[in-house]
Each structure stands twice: as C-alpha cells, then as structure tokens.
Amino acid sequence: MKRPIEHSSETTPAAPPPLYERVHNGLHRLIERQMLPIGFVLLEGPIADYFGVSRVPVRRALVELAQAGLIHKFRGRGYLVDPHGSKPAPLRIDFRSLGLPGSLANAWGSRRHYTWQRRYDDIAGDIARCLPFGTYRIRESGICERYNISRTVVREVLTRLMTRGLIDKDQRSHWICGPFTARSNDEQYGMRMILEPAALIEVVGRDHRLDFKAMLARLEQARRQSRPLSLKQIASFELDLHMALPDACTNARLRSAIVQNQLPLNINRTFYSHFGATHDEPLLDEHEHVLSALIAGQPEKAAAALADHLDAARQRSRARLKVLAVVAEPDLPEFLERVH
C-alpha cells in the first residue's frame, strides 16, 4: 500500500500571518525602539494608512498592545504610547510628521513571513547557548527533526546564521560553531569599539527618532531600585545602546558589521543566567556617561564614552568566559554534537 504523502507547509512559504499581527508587530517594534515618542497619541486612521491595511486589524492590534501594557487608553480618542506606565501628557502630532520611512512598515509589519523566519530565533538561541562550551557540529537532520521543518528551510536559516557570524563551515563543509574564545571576544569587542562609536556619530548627526532621555530615565530608575537588576532590564539597556542606536544608522553595511560582532553579548547573558546580576552593575555608570553626553549634545564625548564602555565590557566578558570554564555544559539539543 502506498504511504500517504504528507503535505507539510515547510517546503512552500508559510501562509502570511494575519494582518492584525503584522500591524501589532510593526507597532511593537516602533515603540520598543523609541521611534514613537512617549505620550504619542495613536489613532486608527493614520496607522491603517501607514501599514496599508483597513482599520479593523489596526483596532485589534491596538487592543493587544494595550493588554501588553505598552499603550494605554486615556480620556481622549485613541491610545497613548506609554510602555513604562508613566502616564505622560498626550502628544497629539500627525503620524506622518514623524517621518517614519515606509520601508519599516514593510520590513516589520507587512512583509510575508516565510517558514525560516519563524524558526530563526529559536535555532540562533540554541546555538548561542553552546558557544562558550566548545566546538560543535550542527546536524541539519537533527534540526529538521527537532523543529519539524525541511532541509531547505534549515539550510536557509543556517546560511543566514553564517552571514551573521554565529556559525561557520569547516573544510569538509560541515556546519560548525564555537568555541567562543578569549581571542574571539577581544576581536569582536575590538571591532565594536571601532564601529559602534562611528554609527553613533552618524546617527546623531542627522534627524533621528531616538529618545535618549527615556533611555537615561530607564537607567536611573534601575539605579534607584535596591533589588538586583533583572536579566530583562540588562537586555533593555543593551537594546537601547547597542541595538536601537546602531539600527538607526543609514549605512546598512555598518549596521550589519555591528550585528556580526555582537556575539559577546551572549557570553554575558549566559554568565548572568548562572550568577545573576547585582543592583549596581558597572554598565549602569558606563551607559549613563554615553547617554548624558548625547543629551548634552556632545556626540564626540558620547562616542569616546561608548568606546570606553566597550573596552571595560571586553575585560569583564573575558573574565566571565574564564568562569564559564568551570560551569558544566548546559543541556543542549541533540542536533548539536560536540567535536571538542
């Protein structure tokens, strides 16, 4: 008897996500990257125009964002952008006057999502976790099984991860990753010390939508708390300074070079996940120096402070990597096979 043919969706691009989800994701990222000012009043009409959809999906997206606490209803019409619950005064300005490039709506909101995109973050996360613990071979078939996706999709993801510098191919064309060494740490921080200050200068030299005061406020709020910083807080500081800021840079090659050299962030995450953070991490002071200089309109000083921060972070990350030497290898998915 012939076996039934499985019609999986893996080999063909997945059905695009519902419209409301695209709008939701787009708005979420605009808020996260502070491209929508705190207190900005969100109205259905202009958002629908921006994303090129009807008002119905916009309405649903707004309800969900409100449930997530990123925006709030207020006395007037629409919603206030208020991710920190600080109840800001309403800022009624025309959505179009924000000058958000239409490409963002396409990139974040409306582009069709392919299967590889849905698994990209999961697979990248699996791989990032193993990096400090040795050299691993990545088995395509293992990823297929774990995530129930086809080889084509797996190769798509892995090729993109290679472009990002997370994995590589050995001489026999096997996918491999790791080890993350003290040398890789120094090299990547060395690149970041050149690239990130350059991106900062480029960004602040022209019209941008970054809210440095809000970033500083987040730091100061963390400084006032007596409990240790949460991993989420640390991730949000990193997002502000090391992702949102370079992301606002118009030079795409510079942006991608920065992303390629940010692997050490994973080392710090692994370290914090084992040992926790204190309430007074040195990064608070160092980020504050950068942001204060930006707010004071001193980009050169900010760029120098950013380079100093990266140099100090380089040394911390190096010491943390040594500590991870005595930490047992975490439970890793089977598609990662330790070579040494």
Partner 1 sequence: MSENDRPLRVMGTPDTLTDTIRERAENDLGFALHVEPLDGLALQQRTVMNPDSFDVLDHWSLSTELAWTARAIRPIDTGAIGAWRDVLRLDDTHDLLDHLKVGKGVSPREILFVQPDGLLGPEPTSEVAMMPTIYHFDSFGYSPSISVDLEHGEQESWGWMLDDRWRGRVALTAHPPIGIIEMALSAEAKGLMHFSDVGNLSIEEIDDLVALLIDYKRKRHFRAFWEAASHSVDLMQGGGVLIESMWPQAFQSLNDLGVPVRQAVPREGTRAWMDGLSVSSRCEGLQLERAYAFINWWLSGWPGAHVARFGVYTAAPNRLAQFLTDNEWLYWYGGEPASADIRDNFGKIVARPGEMRAGGSFIERMENVAVWNTFMDEYNYLIRRWHDFMEA
**Residues that bind partner 1 in the complex, under the rule CB under 8 A:** 132-134, 179, 181-183, 274-275, 278, 282, 315, 318-328, 340
CB of 125 to partner 1, least distance (A): 20
Phi, psi of 86 (to 5 degrees): -95, 5
Measured from the CB atom, the residue of 110 and 317 that comes closer to partner 1 is: 317
Measured from the CB atom, the residue of 199 and 324 that comes closer to partner 1 is: 324
Measured from the CB atom, the residue of 231 and 259 that comes closer to partner 1 is: 231
Measured from the CB atom, the residue of 151 and 274 that comes closer to partner 1 is: 274
Are the beta carbons of 194 and 303 closer than 8 angstroms? no
CB of 282 to partner 1, least distance (A): 7
Spatial CB neighbours of 77, under 8 Å, sequence gap ≥ 6: 41, 43
Residues 47 and 39: their CA atoms lie apart, in Å, by: 16
Buried-state track 252-290, b at ≥16 Cβ within 10 A, e below 16: eebbebbbbbbbbbbbbbbbbeeeebeeebebbebbbbb
CB of 237 to partner 1, least distance (A): 18
Q: How many CB atoms lie within 10 A of CB 93?
A: 11
CB of 335 to partner 1, least distance (A): 20
Measured from the CB atom, the residue of 172 and 253 that comes closer to partner 1 is: 172
Residues 327 and 66: their CA atoms lie apart, in Å, by: 41
CB of 172 to partner 1, least distance (A): 18
